[in-house]
């Protein structure tokens, strides 16, 4: 998006000198160049803020996994700490987009019977397939330890 807008601004300034001359005549000689610099800076700022905010959210999220539960803390200004019992996980899957594969990370997606987080995601994790296998094993061990049974059509016992 930023390159498209930048290209449009450069096209208008370079390919359409009549527009640049009209702006220059009405506003002075320094204004078009300064306006272009500020416009490009604004475009890049608008395009960079969302990914930087997302990175900050990911960096301030912590997970602690025991053999019985997953505890996590999320938030930048408003911190939230919660937990999820591993026995309440119904299904586990791993997801890696093209960008994730290039960065060597992935997302674990858990379908749970927990009301506060029916779909829980552990995002931006390295070795996502090993993490998914490990969580599956912990889930199976905890279900066996508690003799946990879930019947089709129920939300857990």
Identify the domain containing residue 34 by its residue range. Answer: 2-58
Same domain? 69 vs 142? yes
Residue 138 region by backbone torsions, left for phi larger than 0, else alpha for psi between -120 and 50, else beta: alpha
CB contact at 8 A, 63 and 122: yes
What pLDDT was estimated at residue 104?
A: 96
The set of residues, in sequence order, having a beta carbon less than 8 Å from that of 61 and lying 6+ positions away, is 72, 73, 74, 123
What pLDDT was estimated at residue 35?
A: 80
Domain membership of residue 155 (yes or no) is: no
CB contact at 8 A, 72 and 62: yes
Same domain? 104 vs 138? yes
What pLDDT was estimated at residue 106?
A: 97
For the residues 124-141, what does the mean pLDDT come to? 97
What pLDDT was estimated at residue 103?
A: 94
Cα distances (Å, whole numbers) of residue 144 to 68, 77, 137, 151: 12, 39, 11, 15
pLDDT of 101 higher than 90: yes
pTM equals 0.70
What pLDDT was estimated at residue 17?
A: 67
Same domain? 49 vs 107? no
Domains in the chain, number: 2
Ranges of beta strands (E only) in 113-148 are 119-125
What gap in Å lies between CA 47 and CA 39, rounded to an integer? 12
Question: Beta-carbon neighbour count of residue 154 at 10 Å?
Answer: 9
Domain membership of residue 156 (yes or no) is: no
Same domain? 12 vs 54? yes
Confidence bin at 151 (pLDDT 50/70/90): confident
Same domain? 33 vs 80? no
What pLDDT was estimated at residue 6?
A: 62
């Amino acid at each position: 998006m930023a390159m498209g807008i930048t290209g449009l601004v450069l096209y208008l300034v370079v390919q359409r000198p009549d527009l640049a001359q009209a702006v220059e005549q009405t506003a002075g000689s320094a204004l078009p160049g300064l306006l272009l610099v500020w416009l490009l800076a604004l475009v890049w700022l608008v395009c960079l803020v969302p990914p930087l905010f997302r990175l900050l959210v990911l960096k301030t999220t912590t997970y602690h996994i025991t053999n019985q539960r997953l505890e996590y803390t999320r938030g930048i200004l408003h911190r939230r700490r919660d937990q999820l019992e591993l026995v309440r996980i119904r299904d586990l899957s791993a997801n890696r987009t093209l960008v994730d594969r290039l960065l060597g990370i992935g997302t674990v997606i858990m379908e749970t019977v927990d009301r506060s987080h029916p779909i829980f995601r552990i995002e931006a994790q390295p070795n996502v397939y090993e993490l998914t296998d490990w969580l599956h094993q912990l889930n199976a061990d905890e279900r066996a330890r508690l003799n946990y049974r879930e019947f089709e059509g129920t939300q857990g016992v």
